[in-house]
């Protein structure tokens, strides 16, 4: 995904997309994500945000849609502490 470098999405827009994806809890198609967003955004802007989120390791782009995969460090430490040791 290549976006126009002269325009960057506002932080509020990026955070809105992050919250919508993290609240979804499942794979969401891009069209469904656009419907779930509280405000409409241009397709190119959404793709720019999704590209950024994928590069930063917060989402996974699959053939079925987009999945939020980011876990905060505190949550990861808790999972490690309560996990099984092999």
Residue 28 sits in a domain whose CATH number is 1.10.10.10
Instruction: List the beta bridge partners of residue 62.
Output: 65
**Model pLDDT, residue 78:** 77
In a domain, 2, yes or no: no
- Report how many domains make up the chain: 1
This prediction has a pTM of 0.79
**Model pLDDT, residue 86:** 55
In degrees and rounded to multiples of 5, residue 80 shows phi and psi of -65, -40
In a domain, 3, yes or no: no
In a domain, 6, yes or no: no
Task: Output the tens digit of pLDDT for each of the chain's 86 residues.
Answer: 554 556 789 999 999 999 999 999 999 999 999 999 999 999 999 999 999 999 999 999 999 999 999 887 887 777 777 776 65
Contact (Cβ atoms closer than 8 angstroms) between residue 12 and residue 25? no
Q: What burial letters (b/e) apply to 1-11, b meaning 16+ CB within 10 Å?
A: eebeeeeebee
Question: Residue 30's domain spans which residues?
Answer: 11-82
**Model pLDDT, residue 4:** 52
């Amino acid at each position: 995904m290549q976006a126009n470098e002269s325009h960057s999405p506002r932080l509020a827009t990026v955070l809105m997309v992050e919250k919508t994806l993290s609240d979804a809890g499942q794979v969401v198609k891009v069209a469904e994500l656009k419907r779930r967003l509280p405000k409409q955004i241009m397709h190119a802007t959404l793709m720019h945000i999704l590209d950024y989120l994928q590069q930063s390791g917060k989402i996974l782009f699959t053939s079925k849609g987009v999945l939020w995969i980011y876990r905060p460090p505190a949550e990861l430490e808790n999972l490690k502490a309560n996990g099984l040791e092999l």
